[in-house]
Structure 1
């Protein structure tokens, strides 16, 4: 068997929302390529512990930080602790999200604000804290903001999430231009509908399977597929990419619905 590459040997990665889904898959992928990983999570403690254990089994360090990223002081302390315990930060992946889905006219404002606070402000707090670490280190770095097609497709009953993801895209591009002189790259990933535990908040397994069959690809994406996109963006060979958006949506943005026949099939 061929040995995995160690493109990120000696690197330190920091991932928010790392206990499950895309964040977890990215953490494991980075560890397989040699990086030590700081794992942020808030819920799903058992899953976070399992992820850390798997990373340790790969011969890499994994530190757990149970921190609510919607509070700036908490994020800044966590970032300082990562630097203190691991020695720095070279790669940052913003993957933590929260979302309630309701018509905006009747939405519970507590959930609406929580969606913004975690999905937008939390991402910004971490981006800001990590940027300052990378600037102080003076050795460049790479960051990926896991955003969404929600940033440009106004899915109904998702106004808060749509708003947060639109803001994330603008945030990432703004950071990319400001950090460009310091060789710190900031890119965006737009995943399609991905089969993650978070989807079970809204849909049953049966509903997800049925809905997935109606997407252009006929299925939902896997977290591991999205992790491949993240690994491409942080790869040293992608060093000429910054301020870019990698879309891995399975054709969601294409006019795939126009190709259906009378019976509703492609």
Structure 2
């Protein structure tokens, strides 16, 4: 019998054409939701994800929208409601990141990183929350955050800033939306094997780096998607809001717990 933990729900996943967003969209469809897939590039991959969802017997709606534009995001949510009838789950996974020393960074890329990764998440959460408030039936939102919110990775200042802001955004939203039974949580993925990582690393570099992580490997997008599903599933998480769920393979464990340190 098919799983229906979010059966009858409608979910919006941003950044759904690849990586964590794509895996999350498909996972929510497996759990019974109809899914609106937001994307801004990788048209063929977005079509493929939608096809996979329809194969599961669920509705899939493709929305090519730049989440850094508030008006476009608000229109996107209105279009979802018109087409699919409602909106119950919001997952913010859209991201952009350039990596350069902040002293010499191209400011167009620096601003784009913040516009998509921070403002895009805010616009989506705001528009989705307003729709859930109108429905008066509660809801759930998950923000895909990052350990970058707490660890100052060099040459990632804009991304670090954006992800740190998302933590406070989500927790504040959780406070304000609690009386309306709309839950807001954050997932911290560890280093995850996604197409986006190839912007910065070769396969060989990723393989070597993965061996140095606490678990000795990168996460899969499907593992992160399972955590998102856990947080939107009312059976498993109805009493969870305003929290950060670490799915990071032990990244925040003390240094002496890392691989190979047992010989010390």
Q: State the TM-score, normalized to the length of structure 2.
A: 0.97
SS in structure 2 at match of 1:56: helix
Conserved in 2, the CA contact under 8 Å of 1:216 and 1:256?
no
Q: CA deviation at 1:4?
A: 3.4
Q: Which residue of 2 aligns with 1:139?
A: 137
1:223 to 221, 224, 231: 221
State yes or no: 1:79 paired with 2:80.
no
Unaligned runs of 5+ in 1: none
Matches within 5 A, 1:1-266: 3-237=1-235, 238-256=237-255, 259=258
SS in structure 2 at match of 1:188: strand
SS in structure 1 at match of 2:219: coil
Structure 1 stretches (4+) deviating beyond 3 angstroms? 256-262
Q: CA deviation at 1:88?
A: 0.8
Q: CA deviation at 1:52?
A: 0.1
Q: CA deviation at 1:260?
A: 6.0
* Shift in alpha-carbon separation, 1:38–1:261, aligned structure 2, 3 A: closer
Q: CA deviation at 1:106?
A: 0.7
Conserved in 1, the CA contact under 8 Å of 2:212 and 2:259?
no
Conserved in 1, the CA contact under 8 Å of 2:140 and 2:184?
yes
Give a deviation string over 1:91-114, Cα, whole Å, max 9, x none: 110000000011111111000000
CA distance in 1, matches of 2:143, 2:258: 32
CA RMSD of aligned residues (A): 1.4
With 63-72 and 252-261 compared, the bigger mean Cα shift is at: 252-261
Conserved in 1, the CA contact under 8 Å of 2:214 and 2:249?
yes
Q: State the TM-score, normalized to the length of structure 1.
A: 0.96
CA distance in 1, matches of 2:107, 2:256: 34
Conserved in 1, the CA contact under 8 Å of 2:214 and 2:258?
no
CA distance in 2, matches of 1:261, 1:178: 45
CA distance in 1, matches of 2:253, 2:27: 29
Conserved in 1, the CA contact under 8 Å of 2:214 and 2:259?
no
SS in structure 2 at match of 1:92: strand
* Shift in alpha-carbon separation, 1:259–1:233, aligned structure 2, 3 A: closer
CA distance in 1, matches of 2:202, 2:179: 47
CA distance in 2, matches of 1:206, 1:257: 26
SS in structure 2 at match of 1:110: helix
In the alignment of these two chains, the number of paired residues is 263
